[in-house]
Amino acid sequence: MSTVNEQLRLAMARRGVSPDALAVACAVDPKTVARWLTGRVPHARHRWTTAELLAAAEDEIWPSPQRLVAPGSHPDPVASFPNRASVPRDLWLSLLKNAEQQIDVLVYSGTFFAQTNPHVATMLANRARAGVAIRLCFADPADSAVAQRDREEQLDGTLAAKIRASLTYYRNLLTEPGCEIRLHNATVYASLFRYDDDLLANPHIWGQPASANPSYTCAVGRVPILAGSPSTWPASTRSGPPPAPGTAPPPTGTSRSSTVGRIEYLNDPSAPKANTLIPASNLLVVNDDGEILLQRRRDTGQWALPGGAQDIGETAGQCAVRECQEETGILAELTGFLGVYTNPNHIVAYTDGEIRQQYENTYIGRPLSGTPTVNDEADGVRWVHPDNLDDLDIHPSMRQQIDDYLTKRYPHLG
């Protein structure tokens, strides 16, 4: 049951201000004012406008120990906390529930964001359905900035895995209109959580985990690091470096930037529903020593055969050869066909919103020229002897294809 804000109702009555008049003054819908009257707390600028219009103190209308500063006042934090764990859970929930325009999150892994509130993804989806723009930006687990942060905190290589695990909490948001998930490649020394004009910041002290560092709440635009620079937030959340002035954006198509992450599901009932079916080709290249050419994908950190989506104007076999050379530096020729793999229970969800059902044509080949070379899609390329496959992290669907070759169970038709 909603709680009536009696202070707001009385203040409006004393000044003769109707809900419609207050809505006009605050440039909001009258329904929004109705929600304020039933207990919803407006965001900062609407509270200030309302208090001025009604000639009342803001704390009299919305009593709260966490009140934000008024326009023109000193940009000191409203509330500071000795560490992130000291931030009241009710404050996190209140900021999220009361956002009306945007929620922006900039973090490395943000694991605590979901672990301290198991329903955060559902709550974000609900806010998006109410018209709030949701932007979540995590660090690219394959980027050097993550490796640097990992070394500074002496995490022994676990930060990248934490980021990949954190992304799984938000997989249902990939298909939610109004929600956007991106990966950044910036060196960040503050986790930022923006709810409309309210900001909760968690600075990172060098060499210490973010959770052990102080946190504070304040108003966006009244923080020295943000004031006077409207582009700070958009630039920090762009997936990849911003384009140079005068250059065109990258072309659209089946290829994607390495900063777009992906999550794979195999026979998982919780997997999101596919929205695309795009033919792709893989190439299993074997050298004279019986070693198999593998690449370690930047977007998942797992080892895989080279391969990718088929382009218009090329055959599936040509696609396999092209993808192999682009992703590994090895030019190969086709010597056989391993099979077609179209498991409808194998789903690949990308952080740009595309969710693919598996459709892969996998070929067998031998190398002609070239040297294994890393690139923007693979941070590792090597020849691997079959005896050493168990030492590598290989997705089960990819391992199935390799095992089909090694056990001579091909062509696979399914």
Tell me which amino acid residue 328 is. T
Give the pLDDT score at 281: 97
Tell me which amino acid residue 119 is. H
- Encode burial over 264-295: b for 16+ CB neighbours within 10 A, e otherwise: bbeeeeebbebeeeeebbbbbbbeeeebbbbb
Q: Is the dihedral of CA 206, 212, 217, 220 positive or negative?
A: positive
Note if the pTM is more than 0.75: no
Residues 195 and 68 sit within 8 Å (Cβ to Cβ):
no
Residues 292 and 365 sit within 8 Å (Cβ to Cβ):
no
Tokens (6 digits) for 5: 């804000």
Give the pLDDT score at 283: 98
Give the pLDDT score at 363: 98
Cα Rg of the chain, angstroms: 26
Give the pLDDT score at 226: 38
Residues 48 and 91 sit within 8 Å (Cβ to Cβ):
no
Give the pLDDT score at 292: 98
Give the pLDDT score at 335: 97
The overall longest dimension of the chain from CA atoms, in Å, is: 90
Read out DSSP for 274-309? P-B---EEEEEEB-TTS-EEEEEETTT--EE-SEEE
* CA-closest candidate to residue 213, choices 236, 190, 187: 190
Per DSSP, what are the bridge partners of residue 105? 136, 193
Q: What is the DSSP letter of 394?
A: B
Can you tell me the distance from the alpha carbon of 137 to that of 370, in angstroms, rounded to the nearest whole number? 37
Can you tell me the distance from the alpha carbon of 73 to that of 52, in angstroms, rounded to the nearest whole number? 15
Count of Cβ atoms closer than 10 Å to residue 34 Cβ: 12
Can you tell me the distance from the alpha carbon of 405 to that of 337, in angstroms, rounded to the nearest whole number? 10
pLDDT digits (tens, 9 = 90+) for 358-398: 999 999 999 999 999 988 778 889 999 999 999 888 989 99
pLDDT digits (tens, 9 = 90+) for 275-286: 899 999 999 999
Enumerate the domain spans of the chain.
6-61, 79-237, 262-413
Question: Which residue is listed with tokens 């049951």?
Answer: 1
The CB-side HSE value for 353 (13 A sphere, CA atoms) comes to 8
Residues 372 and 328 sit within 8 Å (Cβ to Cβ):
yes
Q: What is the DSSP letter of 211?
A: G
Residues 285 and 365 sit within 8 Å (Cβ to Cβ):
yes
Report domain 79-237's class.
Answer: alpha beta
Tell me which amino acid residue 100 is. E
- Helix (H) / strand (E) element for 334: namely strand 330-341
Question: Which regions in the chain score pLDDT beneath 50?
Answer: 1-2, 65-77, 221-259
Residues 187 and 148 sit within 8 Å (Cβ to Cβ):
yes
Residues 356 and 348 sit within 8 Å (Cβ to Cβ):
yes
* CATH number for the domain running over 262-413: 3.90.79.10
The CB-side HSE value for 178 (13 A sphere, CA atoms) comes to 15
Count of Cβ atoms closer than 10 Å to residue 115 Cβ: 12
Query: Which of helix, strand or coil describes residue 363?
Result: strand
Architecture of domain 6-61: Orthogonal Bundle (1.10)
Give the pLDDT score at 84: 77
